[in-house]
């Protein structure tokens, strides 16, 4: 399997499809690079080099005990970019992956990066604090950790409903899509999944957003039940200097895998990449 070795020796699996300007995808929690397959094929079919990696702790990457935090996730992304010597990169991150992309740009700079896309992304901060009253209370994230620790199989099956908006009356999400979510999630080790809950909820990425100095497309569904838009994209769009902000009415968190919203996202992604 193709792997890049991170700074602590962890092996990070990646897919590398097509040729042309590289587009590097970072996936959400608790998934794997497979969640990006439709967009990987889209970009490779249209003259781009599409790359996506499995986050440490799951999929085909190593499952180390430590390093399940945004700094190390960003370093793992850097390891993939540098191992393939990618330049003029378009970084695309969904959910936790959007935090990974944001921390990468704040920590490693934009020397190899041309553009960025943040989809349903966690920045600037998901946790409710005195300074961030729009965030979610700590009890929400405690429940996530409890679900992962006690019966993560059932927890992931239940989580797939709000993730894709399957709990809405007009939902068109198929059982197959929900089954995919469960399948990918179950390849993630319990330690990585548990620790990542703290990473994606409690990491403040405000200063990283301010450091982004490349054109950035921010996309978020206004019916995102996982990462509320008021605590994330609404704020990020004001902190990133060169941001284009697109709100998808009625779209859930996992909109890139829901056909009626994925079609629009794919069009916007391709147009932004070409532009």
Catalytic-role residue among 224, 232, 236, 237: 224
Q: Is 6 a catalytic residue?
A: no
DSSP 67: -
Candidates 202, 199, 163, 206; CA nearest to 181 is 163
- How high is the pLDDT of residue 76? 98
Q: Which residues contact 134 (CB under 8 A, 6 or more apart)?
A: 128, 228, 230, 231, 235
- Structure confidence at residue 95 (pLDDT): 98
Q: Are 7 and 257 in contact (CB under 8 A)?
A: no
Helix axes 96-108, 190-202, angle to 10 degrees: 70
* Residue 110: count of CB within 10 angstroms of its CB: 17
Kindly give, in sequence order, each residue whose CB lies less than 8 Å from that of residue 21, ignoring residues fewer than 6 positions away. 47, 48, 49, 88, 89, 90, 114, 273
pLDDT value for 167: 98
Q: How confident is the model at residue 124, as a pLDDT?
A: 98
The predicted pLDDT at position 222 comes to: 98
Which of the residues 27, 53, 220, 253 is marked catalytic? 253
In the chain, which ranges are continuous DSSP H helix? 37-45, 70-83, 96-108, 138-164, 175-185, 190-202, 206-211, 233-239, 259-274
Q: Is 220 tagged catalytic? A: no
pLDDT at 25: 99
| pLDDT under 70: residue ranges of the chain | none
Q: Is the dihedral of CA 46, 26, 157, 11 positive or negative?
A: positive
- Residue of 95, 185, 236, 237 with catalytic role: 95
Query: Per-residue pLDDT tens for 177-203?
Result: 999 999 999 999 999 999 999 999 999
Active site residue 253: yes
Whole-structure pTM value: 0.98
With 0-12 CB in 10 A as exposed, 13-18 as middle and 19+ as buried, what is 71?
middle
């Amino acid at each position: 399997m193709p792997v890049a070795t991170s700074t602590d020796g962890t092996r990070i699996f990646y897919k590398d499809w097509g040729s042309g300007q590289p587009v590097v995808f970072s996936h959400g929690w608790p998934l794997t690079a497979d969640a990006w397959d439709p967009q990987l094929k889209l970009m490779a079919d249209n003259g781009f080099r599409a790359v996506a990696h499995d986050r440490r702790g799951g999929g085909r990457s190593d499952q180390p005990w430590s390093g399940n935090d945004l700094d190390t996730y960003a370093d793992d992304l850097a390891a993939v970019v540098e191992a393939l010597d990618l330049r003029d990169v378009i970084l695309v991150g969904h959910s936790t992956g959007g935090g990974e992309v944001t921390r990468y740009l704040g920590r490693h700079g934009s020397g190899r990066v041309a553009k960025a896309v943040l989809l349903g992304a966690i920045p600037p901060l998901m946790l409710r604090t005195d300074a961030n009253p729009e965030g979610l209370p700590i009890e929400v994230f405690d429940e996530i950790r409890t679900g992962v620790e006690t019966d993560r199989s059932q927890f992931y099956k239940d989580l797939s409903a709000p993730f894709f908006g399957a709990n809405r009356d007009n939902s068109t999400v198929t059982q197959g899509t929900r089954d995919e979510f469960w399948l990918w999630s179950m390849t993630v080790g319990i330690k990585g999944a548990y620790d990542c809950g703290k990473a994606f909820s409690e990491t403040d990425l405000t200063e990283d957003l301010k450091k982004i100095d490349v054109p950035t497309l921010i996309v978020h569904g206004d019916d995102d039940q996982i990462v509320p838009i008021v605590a994330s994209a609404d704020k990020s769009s004001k902190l990133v200097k060169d941001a284009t902000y697109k709100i998808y009415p009625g779209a859930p968190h996992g909109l890139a895998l829901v056909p009626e919203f994925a079609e629009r996202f794919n069009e916007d992604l391709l147009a932004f990449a070409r532009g």
